[in-house]
Amino acid sequence: MNQTSIPPKGFIEHEFIREFHDSEEKLQQFWNKLLLRETFTSGQIFPYRVEFSDTAQEGYMIPGELNIHHGPFLSVHGAVGEITKNYRNLNYFYGSYVLSFRLVRPVQLEFFKEDQFIKLKFKVYLRPWFSPIWEFSNRILWSLFGFSMDRK
């Protein structure tokens, strides 16, 4: 599923990009974890939760599989998109939001496996004035994500 929509009136498109660098072995372990449901369903801080539509909440993700990340000020639901040897994406549905539907609307989360790094690209629509806060918050969040992937 290719996201070709345009931002709603009063919103801008924002892409947060982060690269995770490490040894080839560590990057492969990191990549393998990105493909597993339990990477996202286990260890969530209460009251936040990730659920998959499949009865199995563990094992490899399947293209087209539905999921939701939810908790206070968060309802991000979508479908697992393409999964290849070097690419994985998650396409979010209309109605998904972070903090408020009037503030941040997730569109797509992509991971690219390269030889020397794994790149994350998180596309959202958001209010222009919120862009610096969103950028700063994502720098913190995804730094912790990379750290937590090393520890599992």
Q: Could you tell me which of 30, 57, 36, 61 has the C-alpha nearest to residue 146?
A: 30
pLDDT(148) > 60? no
Confidence band (pLDDT; 50, 70, 90) for 54? Answer: confident
d(CA 64, CA 79): 5
Enter the pTM of the model. 0.90
Say what the pLDDT of residue 4 is.
Answer: 59
What tokens appear for 127 in the block? 């209010």
Q: What is the pLDDT of residue 1?
A: 44
Which of 42 and 15 is assigned the larger pLDDT?
15
| Residue 67 to residues 14, 54, 64, Cα–Cα distance (Å) | 22, 9, 10
Q: How far apart are CA 81 and CA 83, in angstroms?
A: 7
- pLDDT tens-digit map of 13-40: 999 999 999 899 999 999 999 999 998 9
Query: Could you give the C-alpha distances from 104 to 6, 34, 40, 127, 148, in angstroms and in order?
Result: 14, 24, 21, 7, 25
Comparison of pLDDT for 105 and 40, the residue scoring more: 105
Q: Which of 15-19, 26-30, 110-114, 134-138 has the lowest mean pLDDT?
A: 26-30
